[in-house]
Amino acid sequence: MDEAFRALADPNRRRLLDRLNARNGQSLRELSEGLGMSRQAVSKHLAVLAGAQLVTAVRRGRQKLHYLNPVPIQEIADRWIGRYERGRLKALSELKRSLEGPAMDKPEFVYVIYIRTTPEKLYRALTDWEFVKHYMDGWGPRSDWAPGSVVEWKMGPDGDFEDLGQRVLEAEPGKRLSYTWHTLQSMHRELFDEISDERFEAARQERSKVTFDIEPAPTPSAGVKLAITHDGFDSQDSKMLEGVSGGWVVILSELKTLLEGGGAAAGQPLSSG
């Protein structure tokens, strides 16, 4: 939290956060435009913000795109604003908008979490059903995780694995995993009773994808940086986007607890493999 306070103390860094709050996922060139600072200076400010975990960078091809990470701001709000009850509702409302992100031509959900583990253990936790079922509460994927392979999906502890049209796109152990996501199923209809049957059927055609990027954290003590990008949504009003945005935060929190707890999943020690 001290690093976040130090990072926020500089007005130029606050301006960069404002820019990302207005439009997430910008390159260094885009963030530098009109600020009256050199790209080198902006890059240094971004490095400070990244060190405080207020900004995260995700590489897309040759570009490095920067995203606002509101989690440290939420911690400040919980500790200080919540304690003194000043502007509490406004702060939480603004935080919600930051978490949901602004409207974009190509909407996506991007989230970064730091886990005190190794890349190999984290990749195993993403691909081994015996681990997945614990932090996803009996839901989740199963596959041999070879590119092109089917990803079977289990819809709940009492469900069976089904082929819902999902396929492995990329699989690089310890570094990257990407696969297509399942579409909305009939069982999800009751979650969206505010829309018509026609709109729900249209929403069921949407096919998105999720990508996990694993790399060392900025500081060794933080362990591993896991960046999740869920994209391919048809619009900002996507019902699947609405569902996964909150769901992934909970799932990754459970994953972090599992890996950092040093416990075992179904008799398999987390330190093995």
Query: Which of 103-117, 162-176, 224-238 reaches the highest mean pLDDT?
Result: 162-176
CA 94 vs CA 70, 74, 87: distances in Å: 10, 10, 11
- Please write the tens of the pLDDT for every residue from 197-215: 887 787 788 899 999 999 9
Predicted pLDDT at 93: 47
**Going along 55-160, which residue ranges are E strands?**
55-60, 63-68, 109-115, 140-142, 150-154
- Residue from 144, 160, 141 nearest 152 by CA: 141
Predicted pLDDT at 25: 84
Alpha-carbon torsion 200, 203, 207, 210, what sign?
negative
CA 226 vs CA 10, 99, 167, 248: distances in Å: 27, 17, 21, 12
Predicted pLDDT at 250: 87
Q: How many CA atoms lie within 13 A of 78 on its CB side?
A: 7
Residue 218: other Cβ atoms inside 10 A: 15
Question: Is residue 190's pLDDT more than 80?
Answer: no
Predicted pLDDT at 34: 85
Predicted pLDDT at 79: 60
Percent of the chain having pLDDT more than 70? 81
Give residue 267's pLDDT band: very low, low, confident or very high (50, 70, 90).
Answer: very low
Tokens 């330190």 locate to 271
Predicted pLDDT at 60: 77
Predicted pLDDT at 273: 41
Better-scored residue on pLDDT, 244 or 121: 121
DSSP letters along 31-79, please?
Answer: HHTTSSS-HHHHHHHHHHHHHTTSEEEEEETTEEEEEE--HHHHHHIII
Question: Is residue 269's pLDDT more than 50?
Answer: no
Give residue 72's pLDDT band: very low, low, confident or very high (50, 70, 90).
Answer: low
Question: Is residue 146's pLDDT more than 80?
Answer: yes
Give residue 6's pLDDT band: very low, low, confident or very high (50, 70, 90).
Answer: confident
User: Average pLDDT in the 164-181 region?
Assistant: 96
3-class secondary structure, 153:
strand
**Domains of the chain by start residue, with CATH:** 2-100 (1.10.10.10), 109-269 (3.30.530.20)
